[in-house]
Amino acid sequence: MSGRYAFVLAGGLGTRLCLLSERRAKPAVPFGGKYRIIDFTLSNCVNSGIYDVGVLTQYHPTSLHRHIGIGRPWDLDRTRGGVQLLQPSLGSVTSDWYQGTADAIYRNLVHLRPRRAEHVLVLSGDHVYKMNYNLLYAFHQANHASATVAVTEVPEEAVQSFGILETDARGRVVGFQEKPRRAQSRLASMGVYLFDRAAFTQWLVEDAERSDSRHDFGRDLLPRLVERGEAVYAYRFQGYWQDVGTLDSYYDTNLALLSDQPPLDLRDPEWVIHTQSADRPPVRFEAGGRAERSLIANGCRVAGRVVRSVLFPGVTVLRGATVTDSILMHDTTVGKGAAIDRAILDKEVVVGAGGRIGWGEASTPGRACPEHLSNGLLVVGKGAHLPEQVTVGRNTRIGAHVTVDDFSGDVPAGGVIHGPDPEH
């Protein structure tokens, strides 16, 4: 296992997650009751014996840096190897920010120089899955590949959201289209790439010198390699993999964990998903408190009723309150007699007593972001305080850090309450 190195791309804008990623990097978004999205990629690395990892960050990196720290939960706090957080060096060149995924790796090739790795593993930090990368390495070497792309089969209606690969009978890639409207193949790139180091370095240098390139793996580098006949192969992954880049997919993937046989087994002792965990007291159910088919994290206090929901550490549900089909993040409080339905509440939200959050018809799309809020979900930003007895309709967006004074009454379906500018 020695001599292996992985780059984790964790710096892209997560605009499709709406409020959840306006103030944090998408890989740092909380998931599954106690994790962050990036925990799955980092855990896959260490469970596969890869203990030398560079995490490339960029937009809103503070919470991600704070979460990863020195890498102790993943056994990545090492003198040799371990985890490095690689942020762009602002002010050093005219164009400071990474221009694309390939450009991000190109600017960090210096970190490969002292390492003995013959291959370079490039991963996305914003997908939920469990994968043994040793099988990927074995496939790559058995096919004498220069580049291997892990792929999974997606429904026909979803091909326009992914890079789609066409292969021959031996698995060699003969076509690569980035987010096509239609495609004959349904093999989608998982954002998991394995490259031969020498060829990879040369390809990145060539790409950096091209003025017509957007310096992106899916849009530029990989299609170019396939077109000129390089040995690019597709490794078919048979396990569960989910891109949680939209509010709907994030919500559905969280709630899928509540089924009797969830598609992703978080209890597997052979493949532990490691994370940074704060010390919290045990869950407390008070008189009248109950939960059905839910994930309840440490530090929660339940005096009301929780049904088909995910509660992160420190959530409080007071007497007479109900939480249904919802995701409540750290230290959120649901007041007495309040009702939450089909909602995502970020950290430290306070819902006043008697409030009804997620009410009425779902046909009116969100006014502020109809592309994200059109299926009945509503989202409440971090630190928002909602007044007592307020009714909030579906497909609404309640901004981070709004106060009770920002409300002039009930919020209709598709409505919006703007919070402070996320940049301030």
Q: Which residues are annotated as a binding site for alpha-D-glucose 1-phosphate?
A: 98, 163, 178-179, 189
Provide the annotated binding site: 98, 163, 178-179, 189
- 3-state SS, the chain, equals CCCCEEEEECCCCCHHHHHHHCCCCHHHCEECCCEECHHHHHHHHHHCCCCEEEEECCCCCHHHHHHHCCCHHHCCCCCCCEEEEECCCCCCCCCCCCCCHHHHHHCCHHHCCCCCCCEEEEEECCEEECCCHHHHHHHHHHCCCCEEEEEEECCHHHHHHCEEEEECCCCEEEEEEECCCCCCCCEEEEEEEEEEHHHHHHHHHHHHCCCCCCCCHHHHHHHHHHHCCCCEEEEECCCCEEECCCHHHHHHHHHHCCCCCCCCCCCCCCCCCCCCCCCCCCCEECCCCEEECCEECCCCEECCEEECCEECCCCEECCCCEEECCEECCCCEECCCCEEECEEECCCCEECCCCEEEECCCCCCCCCCCCCCCCCCEEECCCCEECCCCEEECCCEECCCCCHHHCCCCECCCCEECCCCCCC
